[in-house]
Amino acid sequence: MDQVTYQPRQTTAARDAAELRTRGQRILELATRASCEQNYDFARLLTRLATEVFAHARDVEESYALSHHPSRGAGERRR
């Protein structure tokens, strides 16, 4: 049986965001290749997907930051 180790949530969130960004970069590379092959509809679709992946990576980081800063909760504004 493998030993399970605990990893802090910050490490996990940072690793997840980095992995998402790596995948987004790969998707953009595929979009470039599709564009070079004159498959423009597929290139646009891939570009849109990469944009969503990058946005999700940002959301992962922000959700971690918000969950660990209670003074910046939903009802309060930043000064």
* Percentage, residues of the chain above pLDDT 90: 58
Asked whether residue 34 carries a pLDDT value surpassing 80, the answer given is yes
Burial class (CB in 10 A: 0-12, 13-18, 19+), 57: buried
Q: pLDDT tier at 78 (50, 70, 90 boundaries)?
A: very low
Name the pTM for this structure: 0.70
Q: pLDDT tier at 79 (50, 70, 90 boundaries)?
A: very low
Those residues with Cβ within 8 angstroms of residue 47's Cβ, 6 or more apart along the chain or in another chain: 28, 31
b/e per residue 10-38 (b: at least 16 CB within 10 A): eeebeeebeebbebbeebbebbeebeeee
Q: pLDDT tier at 55 (50, 70, 90 boundaries)?
A: very high
Phi, psi (5° rounding) for residue 6? -85, 135
Q: Average per-residue pLDDT in the chain?
A: 84
